[in-house]
Amino acid sequence: MIIAVDGPAGAGKSTVSKILAQRLGFLYIDTGAMYRALTLKALEDNTDLKDEEKVIELVSSISIDLINNPDGSLKVLLDGRDVSRLIREPRITKSVSDIAKIKGVREKMLILQRGLGLKNNAVLDGRDIGTVVFPNADKKFYIDANFKERVRRRYKELKEMGQEVTEEDIDKDLRNRDTIDSTRKIAPLRKADDAVLIDTTDMTIEEVANKMFEIIDNG
Ligand code: DC
């Protein structure tokens, strides 16, 4: 069984997807983390991010593994190295949307993500899961929240991770990523016609997870 969870940054997708996967005993696949791991590799190798050929070469040469820890958290391995924290740094967040808009990169990620999903019952979260990666997913959700609330949540999350950020930085980053992610030519962020829209602005994470669980349970 495949559950697709799409939506913009900061809407609460990854938190609820993790909860859902844990409750259902499914694999949690954070597809954004895969684009982030590639971005980290490109920055570490001083690859010119505008050189699409080079970035595409890079994506074919690395291995990305997602390990679900028993406590529900996610470990991201880049060529066997734990990069779970590094990929959340602002320098990665700033560049990831530019990497994710490259056609050859998305083609490679699509193969990896489908491979993972076909081998497991899985909850996948991202931008194009219900539209492109798994258009026949058993259940599709589109998780959204108003812009101000998304900024507030992302700010709180990064502060809790110990990052020195301001709400202004987050506002700028989300605006920029929303624009790139939803206007790119390949697989832009869009609600699938058959996805259930959940506006989480005034909901707690538990309420969102319960609602999704109910919808899945009722077929
Ligand atoms: O969910 P996130 O913020 O970790 O995702 C990071 C970036 O990766 C996001 O700005 C766009 C890109 N992404 C994508 O293009 N397609 C996906 N399925 C997941 C993420």
Model pLDDT, residue 219: 76
Q: Is residue 18 part of a domain?
A: yes
Check if 155 has its Cβ closer than 6 Å to any atom of ligand 1: no
Please write the tens of the pLDDT for every residue from 28-67. Answer: 999 999 999 999 999 999 999 999 999 999 999 999 999 9
Q: How many CA atoms lie within 13 A of 124 on its CB side?
A: 33
Percent of the chain with pLDDT over 90: 95
Check if 96 has its Cβ closer than 6 Å to any atom of ligand 1: yes
Q: Could you tell me how many helices (H) and strands (E) the chain has, helices first? A: 8, 8
| Residue 180 pLDDT grade (very low, low, confident, very high; cuts 50, 70, 90) | very high
pTM: 0.96
Q: Is residue 7 part of a domain?
A: yes
- Ligand 1, atom 15: closest residue by C-alpha: 100
Q: Which domain holds residue 40?
A: 2-213
Q: Is residue 142 part of a domain?
A: yes
Q: Is residue 99 part of a domain?
A: yes
In terms of Cα–Cα distance, which of 144, 31, 29, 168 is closest to 90? Answer: 168
Contact between 80 and 63 (Cβ < 8 Å): yes
The whole-number average pLDDT for the span 160-185 is: 94
CA dihedral 149, 72, 38, 107 (to 10 degrees): -90
What is the C-alpha separation between 102 and 51, in angstroms, rounded?
10
In the predicted model, is pLDDT for residue 210 greater than 90?
Answer: yes
Mutate to test the pocket of ligand 1, among 36, 125, 127 (most ligand atoms within 8 A of CB): 127
In the predicted model, is pLDDT for residue 68 greater than 90?
Answer: yes
How far, in Å, is the centroid of ligand 1 from the Cα of 126? 6
Model pLDDT, residue 195: 98
Q: CB neighbours (10 Å) of residue 219?
A: 6
Q: Is residue 20 part of a domain?
A: yes
Average pLDDT, the chain: 96
In the predicted model, is pLDDT for residue 77 greater than 90?
Answer: yes
Domain count, the chain: 1
What is the C-alpha separation between 4 and 127, in angstroms, rounded?
9
Q: Is residue 178 part of a domain?
A: yes
Check if 127 has its Cβ closer than 6 Å to any atom of ligand 1: yes
Assigned token pair, 186: 């390949």
- Residue 144: CATH number of its domain: 3.40.50.300
How far, in Å, is the centroid of ligand 1 from the Cα of 104? 15
Model pLDDT, residue 204: 95
How far, in Å, is the centroid of ligand 1 from the Cα of 95? 11
Model pLDDT, residue 72: 85
How far, in Å, is the centroid of ligand 1 from the Cα of 23? 24
Model pLDDT, residue 33: 98
Model pLDDT, residue 178: 95
Locate tokens 């969102």: which residue? 208
Check if 8 has its Cβ closer than 6 Å to any atom of ligand 1: no
The whole-number average pLDDT for the span 89-112 is: 96
Check if 130 has its Cβ closer than 6 Å to any atom of ligand 1: no
Q: Is residue 218 part of a domain?
A: no
Model pLDDT, residue 32: 98
How far, in Å, is the centroid of ligand 1 from the Cα of 218? 29
